[in-house]
């Protein structure tokens, strides 16, 4: 089963991520609007299949050596909100920030204002975790703003709308965010 999981991961990397990366590079070289959108979607898919593939390869190697690691991705692009997406994407990192930063800061137990501050702190740190530069800090702020917007207003409305609306919203948000 470890060899099979490793091969699934390698297939994601070689057969899906690499061609998406090539398509992204090709489309981003063009100056057209449609090319930019196709390139952005291709980049989003490349990022997922690359990272998910490497995670599966690591889990497969671990299994071959007698270790069992939890999945790191749970079909994130089927999410219907940013909140759901981050529960499904890079689960190990999200769990670490939740358990070691968000909850010790008080999580959502100290009122809405403190919850908003805690979300902002966690996502600023998540941005810096990805790289110590302004673009990563802004990336973290982007998701902090979206998560705060969802927690305070949008999720309640989103649950009343047809499912496809949430899915389109989430995919759009992440294609723009990557």
Question: Phi and psi dihedrals of 66, rounded to 5?
Answer: 95, 10
Query: What span, in angstroms and rounded, lies between the C-alpha atoms of 55 and 62?
Result: 10
Which residues of the chain are modeled with pLDDT < 50? Answer: none
Mean pLDDT of the chain: 95
Provide the percentage of residues in the chain whose pLDDT is more than 90: 95
Tell me the catalytic residues: 130
- Say if residues 41 and 52 touch (Cβ distance below 8 Å): no
């Amino acid at each position: 089963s470890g060899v099979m999981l490793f091969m699934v991961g390698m297939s994601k990397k070689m057969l899906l991520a690499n061609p998406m990366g090539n398509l992204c590079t090709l489309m981003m070289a063009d100056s057209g609007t449609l090319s930019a959108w196709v390139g952005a979607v291709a980049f989003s898919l490349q990022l997922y299949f690359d990272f998910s593939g490497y995670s599966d390869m690591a889990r497969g190697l671990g299994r071959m050596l007698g270790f069992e690691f939890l999945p790191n991705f749970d079909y994130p692009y089927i999410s219907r909100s940013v909140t759901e997406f981050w529960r499904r994407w890079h689960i190990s990192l999200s769990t670490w920030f939740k358990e070691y930063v968000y909850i010790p800061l008080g999580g959502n137990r100290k009122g809405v204002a403190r919850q908003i501050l805690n979300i902002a702190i966690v996502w600023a740190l998540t941005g810096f975790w990805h790289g110590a530069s302004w673009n990563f800090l802004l990336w973290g702020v982007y998701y902090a703003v979206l998560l705060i917007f969802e927690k305070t207003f949008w999720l309640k409305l989103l649950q009343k709308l047809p499912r496809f609306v949430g899915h389109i919203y989430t995919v759009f948000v992440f294609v723009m965010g990557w």
